[in-house]
Amino acid sequence: FGELHILNLFLHRLPMATRILLSNASQILRRSSTFASYSKPGLKLVFLGAPGAGKGTYASRVAGKFGLNHVSTGDLIRAEIQSRSIFGMELKEKFYDQGRLIPDDVVINMLARHLSISPHKGYILDGFPRTVQQAIALDRITDIDAAILFDLDEEVLLTKLSGRRVCGGCGTTYNVAHVRLQGMDMPPILPKVEGKCDNCNSDLAQRDDDKPETISKRLAIYHQQIQPILNHYDSHNLLHHFVITKSTAQMLPHLETLLHVIERASPRPQAPTQAPSPLPHLGVEPSFLPAQI
């Protein structure tokens, strides 16, 4: 008590500006100490599912609410190319322009570099990994809290994919199909003006990948690739099945409940802060198709 009294006498003899400065510094230190004690790195999630299952839609809906980054490797690659960096131009010339596959090592290193920007913030990897080799490589750069499989009836998938329309200008996606199958009622997502994007007024078009004659092939490839990935995450007790039986709006609360359960169960150790290894030269065997990202 005596020492505290002496300290108070000393502080009161200091100029007012100095006392205010010390008081502010003390408050900042207390707040930062409290934050350091209670803050945890965010959830690290993988969203898996067939084309058209709604991975991206669900990811965009829950990312903000849970404070997570929504990460698409396809978007990372496209952004690198659009930046016209030396690496981006090499990607474009060697792979995009020639329709060649992009090496797993390149994609993983790009992803590692991106995740290292905010090492303590959680994220949702949208549609990645696509092969078990990519899943194993991903394990080397991060610790996933959960892999969630979005499971949608295949007949519904075929109807949804066939109805998808994409803006040629900004990439906004719409859907002209009103799905009434398997007890579901999924209303269409229509533009205000038929055939025109609400955001930029560009024309909407059906991608070649969404035409009925190619959808079955895409789903066959998906089923062939997804099972080893599911086995991989299941063997680590990280796999969760999210069966979609209603519209996105109706299913969203169920997904949020699942994420809260995962959040409570996940210890989420502190994320590593070391910088990822440099991007490799683009001469290794490719295995990532630009058209699929």
Residues recognised as catalytic: 55, 130, 164, 207, 218
Residue 79, helix vs strand vs coil:
helix
Q: In what order do the strands lie in the sheet with 164-167?
A: 173-175, 164-167, 204-205
Phi, psi of 203 (to 5 degrees): -70, 145
d(CA 156, CA 275): 43
Segment holding 205, helix H or strand E: strand 204-205
276 strand-pairing partners: none
- Comparing CA positions, the residue from 198, 161, 162, 159 lying closest to residue 180 is 159
**CA-CA distance, 285 to 56, in Å (whole number)?**
28
Q: DSSP assignment, residue 290?
A: G
3-class DSSP state of 142: coil
| Helices within 44-188 (DSSP H only) | 55-63, 73-82, 86-91, 104-115, 132-139, 154-163
Chain centre to alpha carbon of residue 275: 20
